[in-house]
Copies of this chain bind each other. A is one copy, B any other.
């Protein structure tokens, strides 16, 4: 596996565009379009929030046959809590994009991210769709990555080339955060492309599996948006033997590549969380089972007290013990070990006699790994988050005003 340039357009058969349509106040790109040259096997994973934005409902409908050919995205407005008008507008985005591309509307997926509760400015959206269709290019993956941003401080893009039985296959992806709860209140969006030959059902199974181990283990501030969306399109331009079932070596190779791309994007999202000064990886090892591992890791990764201590470079391991204790994971408190970058802070649930200055220095890095050994089984998990800084408060206290 090797990393390559080009993001989503590193994949043959994919064109993209990112244009400025004036939906966001700033003079920045705010409409993205991603198109495959033919109708492609497509898979999606969407927010579980019961207050579901209109575009997510349209995506679910249009993905029911496992095929799609285009994704149209606007930033600056989430089209959530917008009622029937909002639904009609989301459908209109698909219809207008389809008309521009000369394809069926149900081959078009739709995303929106931005403020909740306001209707889309449809005149600007229509102009944006037209401009994006004209700008489509097999080199414009970076423009699309830029156009989907809200408060992200930089675009997020990655691509790899893997080999499936000697045949090169490409997987590319872009994502925006910056937090499940961006100040815009919406959204984590990610679009993935591949030229693998793979059928829709297997593509969806692979995406579900990888999302469970990546995007679903990302937490910025516990909030989950109304618009979260991950979409994967497969152009089939590669010459690999068709992957027709979710088993076997070819499938595993594909999942490994997809896992790499998504993990890299998730780390970029965590590191660029609102106000974040560092990436925090929380690894739980020797948990009794997956659910205990995830609960313990989540309790630590979401604890405001842990996150503020990390911001302050304070190796306050008592807060980690508190967090796993409230998680309902099963373990013996007096068997727990805690490490910071493999340096032991806690031994058998008590102070390991570590050096405070060394711990502080380890925390002062721009990437921090906390390992929690529960001594209760053989399951492990890694979650990704960031610290809580003054800027998190500043960004979120003042967003709309």
A228 CB to closest chain B CB (Å) equals 10
0/1 per residue, A310-346, Cβ < 8 Å to B? 0111101111011111101001011000000000001
Cβ A309 vs Cβ B392 within 8 A? no
B223 & A303 in contact (Cβ 8 Å cutoff): yes
Knowing A311-B397, A314-B399, A349-B83, the reply to whether A323 touches B223 (Cβ < 8 A) is yes
Residues of A within 8 A of B (CB): 48-52, 78, 80-83, 115-118, 181, 183, 185, 221-226, 302-305, 308-309, 311-314, 316-319, 321-326, 328, 331, 333-334, 346, 348-351, 360, 388-390, 392-394, 396-401
Q: Residue A393 contacts which of B78, B393, B400 (CB distance < 8 angstroms)?
A: B393
The answer to whether residues A304 and B392 also contact, given A321-B116, A325-B49, A325-B226 and a CB cut-off of 8 A, is yes
Q: Which residues of B contact A302 (CB under 8 A)?
A: 222
> A88 to chain B: closest CB distance in Å?
14
**In the complex, A311 Cα to B80 Cα: how many Å?**
24
- Pair B314/A401 contact, Cβ less than 8 Å: yes
Cβ contact of A316, chosen from B185, B316, B394, cutoff 8 A: B185
Q: In whole Å, how far is A22's beta carbon from the nearest beta carbon of chain B?
A: 22
A119 CB → nearest B CB, Å: 9
Does A81 contact B350, Cβ atoms closer than 8 Å? yes
- Report the Cα distance A318→B118, complex, angstroms: 10
Q: Can you name 23 A-B pairs with beta carbons within 8 Å?
A: A48-B326, A50-B326, A80-B318, A81-B333, A115-B318, A116-B318, A116-B322, A117-B318, A185-B316, A185-B319, A185-B322, A221-B305, A222-B302, A226-B321, A304-B392, A305-B396, A308-B392, A308-B397, A311-B397, A312-B398, A314-B397, A389-B397, A390-B394
A115: B residues at CB distance < 8 A: 318
Asked whether A81 and B316 contact (CB < 8 A) given A222-B304, A396-B304, the answer is no
Cα separation A225 to B305 with both chains bound (whole Å): 11
- A49 neighbours in B (Cβ, 8 Å): 322, 325-326
- Chain B residues whose CB sits within 8 angstroms of the CB of A346 once the complex forms: 81
B304–A351 touching, CB < 8 Å? no
* Distance to closest chain B CB from A306 (angstroms): 8
CA A334 – CA B50 in complex, angstroms?
Answer: 11
Q: In this complex, which of A48, A118, A328, A351 has the most chain B Cβ atoms within 10 angstroms of its Cβ?
A: A351
CB distance from A182 to the nearest CB of B (A): 9
The 10 closest A-B pairs by CB, nearest first: A116-B318, A312-B397, A51-B325, A308-B396, A49-B325, A181-B305, A224-B326, A221-B304, A51-B333, A308-B397
Asked whether A181 and B322 contact (CB < 8 A) given A83-B350, A117-B350, A350-B83, the answer is yes
In the complex, A388 Cα to B275 Cα: how many Å? 14
A325 to B226, CA, bound (A): 8
Docked complex Cα distance between A326 and B80 (Å): 14
A81 to B335, CA, bound (A): 11
- What is the bound-complex CA distance between A226 and B350, given in angstroms? 14
The smallest C-beta distance from A188 to any residue of chain B, in angstroms, reads 13
CA distance A52 to B82 in the complex (A): 47
Given contacts A223-B319, A305-B396, 6 further A-B contacts (CB under 8 A): A49-B326, A52-B325, A116-B318, A181-B305, A221-B305, A314-B397
Given A392-B304, A396-B304, A321–B81 Cβ distance below 8 Å?
yes
Could you tell me the distance between the alpha carbons of A57 and B325 in the complex, rounded to whole angstroms? 15
CA distance A75 to B198 in the complex (A): 63
* Residue in B117, B316, B350, B398 whose beta carbon sits within 8 Å of that of A400 in the complex: B316
Query: Shortest Cβ distance from A396 into chain B, in angstroms?
Result: 4
Q: Which residues of B contact A388 (CB under 8 A)?
A: 393
Kindly report which residue of chain B lies nearest to residue A332, judged by CB atoms: B50
In the complex, which residues of chain B have a beta carbon less than 8 angstroms from the beta carbon of A399? 309, 312, 314, 316
